[in-house]
Amino acid sequence: MNDPAKTNQELIEEISILKQKIGELERGESESSRTEEALRRSEEKYRHLFESAGEGILIAQGERIQYANPALEKILGHSQDIITARPFISFIHPEDRSMVLERHLKRMKGEVLETDYPFRIVTAEGNEKWLQINSRVIAWDGSPASLSFVVDITERRRAGEVLREREEKYRLLIENSHDIIYTLTPDGIFTFVSPGWTVLLGHPIDQVVGKPFRPFVHPDDLGRCEAFLRKSIETGQRQTGVEYRVQHADGSWRWHTTNSVPLKDETGNVIGFEGIASDITERKQMEESLKESEEVFRLLFEESADAHLLIDGGRYIDCNEAALRIAGCTDKSMLMCLTPADMAPERQPDGELSSEKATRMIEIATNEGSNRFEWVNRGFDGVERYLEVMLTSIPMKGRKLTHTISRDITEQKRVDNEMRESRRRLSDIIEFLPDATLVIDKDGKVIAWNRAVEIMTGIKKEDMIGKGNNEYSLPFYGDRRAILIDLALHPDKETEKLYTAIQRVGDILFGESF
């Protein structure tokens, strides 16, 4: 511009070019500012996404985590500073470290690996958590890095384990059940039967599934079974207790009872049945045998040496001759309609009122099938007798009666009392013997440990009574071993050689201790 040789036109053109360049520079600066602003906004957006994400996000490079979002901090229980300061494998469960590190290093080398897999971590509190990770390779500060998204699946894993355990439990229940578990279509086609079918009826499962139930059921019972299913469809409710005969593979007939529930679709329509069938053949045979043996029972009832009585509604309705002898009377009519408490003292030896105990014992027999106990009876002759009583609940003529068998154990009780008294006196004698004395039973347990042996050993009786396994040898020898008292019960030639002198006279063994 300072060159005087230039014309005005040239100067104007030069100025125009300069203005254009200045404009271009200004536009470049504006575009750069817009780019920087867009980049800043983009970074801010992605930073917000990272920090507000519900899943853990991390960027790992080498063996360290370069970035961790707040969700990952919460999962690990560590701050950002700790997470980025330590090798990332230090957060991983020891049993999973090599697997996770190997995958990370291979991915950094460009190998194609499964990107989604589970592993365990150990939190700051020392708790174990299961995470699901999904990783991708990215560039970070000019070098390869791993961008990973992790989700805490601990509860899902636990729920899965609970579900698997529950499914396994139900599978085992079905496979090992002694009953038959089955499903039917509405028209009676088997869609499933458990292994119990083969166990109870002999047919292979593949010969049953897909077949109608009717050919397996006895013709006389078929109508009952069809009515049972119709009622289930009509009511939409669980049905129970139908009894019928099913043919075994060997041609014999087995009695079954079944309970079933209707299976419904979303609209409430019955689309099938699920049921459990139990083999009641033995029960039915017992019922038949009971009917056939009523006369035999009557003969046994009348001729037995034990007292037999029948109770209905808590009162005697029948008895045999032996019961009359215990009652101290000769006429059955004297006993009929009385209650057990009418033929007893006010209270039993345990202090319970006879009226209350009688009712309670009958209730136990009714609920549990039978009940055995001891009872004190007082006859019309005023004599009290100890009885061993067995109550059995039995069906008879459409009613549940209580069959009573009573045996007079008065003499046995007298002998038992004398034996207890004899043992008490023997125990007193042993207790005050001047010599150290101990007694063991046939099982090698201490049943007596007198004062003299307490003084000798310094061990109290209450600390030794009931002890076995040669514990009584510890105070004498310092270890458990067979001693002379054991040889009296269980002779052992090798152990006897350890004694300097030993002599057996009948059941008595003499020896010098060692």
Q: How confident is the model at residue 30 (pLDDT cuts 50, 70, 90)?
A: low
Q: Is the pLDDT of residue 508 over 90?
A: no
pLDDT at 5: 47
Closest listed residue to residue 274, CA positions, set 163, 193, 178: 193
Domain 304-408 superfamily per CATH:
PAS domain (3.30.450.20)
| CATH level 2 (architecture), domain 177-285 | 2-Layer Sandwich (3.30)
Q: Which two tokens stand for residue 351?
A: 């202090």
Lowest mean pLDDT among 205-219, 241-255, 261-275, 338-352: 261-275
Q: Which two tokens stand for residue 398?
A: 């459409």
Q: How confident is the model at residue 143 (pLDDT cuts 50, 70, 90)?
A: confident
Taking residues 50-66, report their average pLDDT: 84
The Cα 151–Cα 121 span in angstroms is 12
Taking residues 362-383, report their average pLDDT: 93
pLDDT at 227: 92
Closest listed residue to residue 467, CA positions, set 482, 449, 450, 493: 449
Q: Is the pLDDT of residue 150 over 80?
A: yes
CB of 380 closer than 8 Å to CB of 329 = yes
User: What stretch of H or E contains 370?
Assistant: strand 370-378
Torsion of the alpha carbons at 482, 488, 493 and 499, rounded to the nearest 10: 70
The Cα 400–Cα 96 span in angstroms is 67
pLDDT tens column, 283-335: 998 888 777 767 766 777 777 889 999 999 999 999 999 999 999 998 989 99
Domain 53-157 superfamily per CATH:
PAS domain (3.30.450.20)
pLDDT at 11: 54
pLDDT at 460: 92
What percent of the chain stands above pLDDT 90?
39
Q: Is the pLDDT of residue 6 over 50?
A: no
Taking residues 251-274, report their average pLDDT: 91
pLDDT at 397: 72
The Cα 248–Cα 251 span in angstroms is 5
pLDDT at 340: 94
CB of 413 closer than 8 Å to CB of 447 = no
CB of 405 closer than 8 Å to CB of 389 = yes
pLDDT at 110: 84
Q: How confident is the model at residue 383 (pLDDT cuts 50, 70, 90)?
A: very high
* DSSP codes of every residue in 117-161: EEEEEE-TTS-EEEEEEEEEEEEETTEEEEEEEEEE-HHHHHHHH
Q: Is the pLDDT of residue 12 over 80?
A: no
Q: Which two tokens stand for residue 241?
A: 């207790």
Closest listed residue to residue 238, CA positions, set 250, 224, 228: 228
CA end-to-end span of the chain, whole Å?
134
What are the residues whose beta carbons fall under 8 Å from the beta carbon of 101, sequence distance 6 or more?
A: 63, 89, 92
User: What is the Cα Rg of the chain in Å?
Assistant: 46
Taking residues 268-276, report their average pLDDT: 90
Q: How confident is the model at residue 14 (pLDDT cuts 50, 70, 90)?
A: low
User: What stretch of H or E contains 75?
Assistant: helix 70-76
Residue type, 170: Y
The Cα 351–Cα 209 span in angstroms is 62
Closest listed residue to residue 484, CA positions, set 469, 468, 473: 473
Place of tokens 């154990």: 409
Q: How large is the angle between the packed helices 294-303 and 281-292, nearest 10 degrees?
A: 60
Q: How confident is the model at residue 4 (pLDDT cuts 50, 70, 90)?
A: very low
pLDDT at 436: 86
CB of 385 closer than 8 Å to CB of 410 = yes
Question: Distance from CA of residue 165 to its chain's centroid?
Answer: 12
Q: Is the pLDDT of residue 181 over 70?
A: yes
pLDDT tens column, 89-112: 899 999 999 998 888 888 888 888
pLDDT tens column, 419-463: 888 888 888 888 888 888 888 888 889 988 989 889 989 999 899
Q: Is the pLDDT of residue 348 over 80?
A: yes
pLDDT at 43: 57
pLDDT at 155: 87
Q: How confident is the model at residue 503 (pLDDT cuts 50, 70, 90)?
A: confident
The 3-class SS string of 279-313 reads ECHHHHHHHHHHHHCHHHHHHHHHHCCCEEEEEEC
pLDDT at 46: 57
Taking residues 27-33, report their average pLDDT: 58
The Cα 386–Cα 350 span in angstroms is 13
User: What stretch of H or E contains 392?
Assistant: strand 384-396
Q: Is the pLDDT of residue 19 over 70?
A: no
